[in-house]
Amino acid sequence: MYCVSEERRPRAREIGIQTGIFSPGELNSITDVSGVMVGHCTVFHGEGKLVPGKGPARTGVTSILPHSGNVFREKVPGAACVFNGYGKSVGLQQMNETGTLETPILLTNTLNVGIVADALVEWCIERNDDIGITTSTVNPVVGEVNDGYLNDIQGRHVRKEHVFAAIEGAKPGPVEEGSVGAGTGSSCLGWKGGIGTSSRVLPESLGGYAVGVLVQSNFGGVLTVDGVPVGRRLGRFAYRDHLEDSSSEPIEEDGSVMVVIASDAPLDHRQLRRLAARASLGLARTGFYGSNGSGDFFLAFSTALRIPHEGAGMLNADLVANDAMSALFLAVVEATEEAVLNSMLRATTVVGRDGHVVEAINIAELLDVMREFGRLVR
């Protein structure tokens, strides 16, 4: 149980790639939304031939907390949008029914969802011993991608202790990105994917609200960076083996992506669901197209309102007007796009089970293509 540590790779803005029109927050991270915390626990052991149930393990768990308090006791408005439902996520239906998020959001791999959800329930019960006895049960929220190309996914190597470590290690401030936590075994657009994050802060004239996005990228398509057809230029894209004579290994066309959106704008469930839906547009800017076997789940929550568990009667809150939502939509699109790019740029090459290798994108080659199209900020 440890985090892979290699020489630090840059984020998009550090190498002159700037997308969108709005400015990022101080950290350019989901944690620019005040109160939000992120934690990872990476499970990385073994090498060589796959022994189901034993390894090699290339996986992990990532936690996103809306605030540092007891989320079950102080819920926040939340919503989920399913773009393509080929996935195994837990808790989204009740979150949409009640309009609230009452646990940390956890991300992991497909076959580990049950164990992670069970551990999250146990973690909540330890802090709320009335759950299911004198008060309601708890709705754990868990998302996933399939990391089975690199990871012994049958082994379900993420255990209770890893879940607890990811939650209890969550903190504000800079977020570790790339091949870490739930992104350890993921691939994206022909290269190594992983965890990525970005943010936008609206001008005061548009409300001054912060929007932060965290992605777990694991999908196929044709990599596009700030409108530049990088995947095509570098010869890695979905269906290449059907379109061109090539002896190279085919690029995975399917895959999945989890997108978690946080904002300090006062929004209710209906507005948050609209916000979540815009993640698909940010993903599309990167070359994502939502394949048949892609599980694409987008979650959004607001930190502007705490909803007491024991509350009864009326909730009074001022909300953003519909006509003021458009700038928030664009902020989500921009931050989602940049979060995907950061997930790939920060990711390191990983060798997994049976010697499978997913390479980190070559930054020098990427920059050559961007210069060719005149898209680097000097």
Which sequence positions are flagged as catalytic? 256, 294, 296
Strand 100-101 with 74-85, pairing = antiparallel
Q: What are phi and psi of 368, to 5 degrees?
A: -60, -45
The residue length of the chain stands at 378
- Pairing between strand 295-302 and 100-101? unpaired
Q: Encoding tokens for residue 53?
A: 């149930």
In the structure encoding, which two tokens stand for residue 191, read together? 């290269």
CA gap 261, 274 in Å, rounded: 11
Burial of 27 (0-12, 13-18, 19+ CB in 10 A): middle
The DSSP-derived string for 64-109 is EES-SS-TTTEEEEEEEEEEEE-S--BSHHHHHHH-EE-S-EEEEE
Evaluate whether 150 touches 350 at the Cβ level (below 8 Å).
yes
Cα(246)–Cα(16) distance, rounded to whole angstroms?
32
